[in-house]
Amino acid sequence: MITEGKDELRIRLVAIFREEAAEHLATITAEMAALETETDAQAVHAGVDRLFRTAHTLKGAARSV
């Protein structure tokens, strides 16, 4: 009864997390690929910042689930 509701909620949360994680991982992959060829120090710094923010967001979502 109550367990069924919790299980359904967990299943929905995991499904949402999987979608979000896929988006975050795609962003991380794209940022890393861009950094491989970037030569401008300011652009590299901005890219690394975006990587850290995305990884931090992914970590927080994983912790929540």
15 CB contacts (<8 Å, ≥6 apart)? Answer: none
Share of the chain above pLDDT 70, in %: 95
Average pLDDT over residues 50-59: 96
What pLDDT is attached to residue 18?
97
Q: Hunting for tokens 């970590």 — which residue is that?
A: 59
d(CA 52, CA 15): 24
Show Cβ contacts of residue 32 under 8 Å, excluding neighbours closer than 6 positions: 51
At 5, the pLDDT band (50, 70, 90 cuts) reads confident
Indicate the pTM of the whole model.
0.81
